[in-house]
Chain A
Amino acid sequence: DTAVSQTPKYLVTQMGNDKSIKCEQNLGHDTMYWYKQDSKKFLKIMFSYNNKELIINETVPNRFSPKSPDKAHLNLHINSLELGDSAVYFCASSQGENRDGYTFGSGTRLTVV
């Protein structure tokens, strides 16, 4: 059983399109996150949700809209895709104060052409 699963693994799309990435965790964690990894491997938090409530939004363009239908799911919808959105997007989850670390999904490589 995969603890944090993301779909799709690869996504190639044209500029201007709208796309979604889905994430599900079966760990019973109460907090979920989206991270972006750029071409230099730098990881930056985008959003976090605790029990379906948005708690962190790190100055991400409003073309990016997270949706959490329940605490086991956190999806990421991106409107009007731009070349600069090309990156690997990681979903993660944690429980409580995060002192045990996060569990990451395997990532979604988004390529905008």
Chain B
Amino acid sequence: GNSVTQMEGPVTLSEEAFLTINCTYTATGYPSLFWYVQYPGEGLQLLLKATKADDKGSNKGFEATYRKETTSFHLEKGSVQVSDSAVYFCALSLVQKLVFGQGTRLTINP
């Protein structure tokens, strides 16, 4: 079946550190890939997306590249801020269904 696996959290970093959150997927077709972010007490917001292999999604300093050969979509940011503290979800969309990874809680300390 279709599934998404993210690195286990929680992840704690200092401000201005480099961030990577790993995400790999299993899919029977050619999914679109997404990162969603959930700030404390809020709903999910689309952070970035990529719809085909080698596409790079980017937003608010975050980037992720759709790697078909490694079935990965790792999230990166060069310099994190305290305001980036949230739960991050990797997801794939296929056959009218969005399948999420288990989420990674990120905490950034000043």
Q: Which residues of A contact B (CB under 8 A)?
A: 31, 33, 40-45, 48, 50, 55-56, 90, 92, 94, 97-107
Choose among B32, B43, B99 the residue that contacts A101 (Cβ–Cβ < 8 A).
B32
Nearest B residue to A106 by beta-carbon distance? B43
Interface size class for chain B? Answer: 20 to 34
Among B19-27, B45-53, B66-74, the one that faces the other chain is B45-53
* Interfacial residues, chain B to chain A (CB-CB below 8 A): 32, 34, 36, 38, 42-46, 49, 51, 87, 89, 93, 96-100, 102-103, 105
Instruction: Check B98 against A42 for contact (C-beta < 8 Å).
Output: no
Give chain A residues whose Cβ lies under 8 Å from the Cβ of B96: 31, 48, 50, 55-56, 97-98
Residues of B close to A44: CB separation below 8 A = 100
- In angstroms, Cα B42 to Cα A41, docked, is 12
Given contacts A90-B43, A103-B46, A104-B45, contact A42 B97 (CB under 8 A): no
> Cβ of B98 and Cβ of A102 under 8 Å apart?
yes
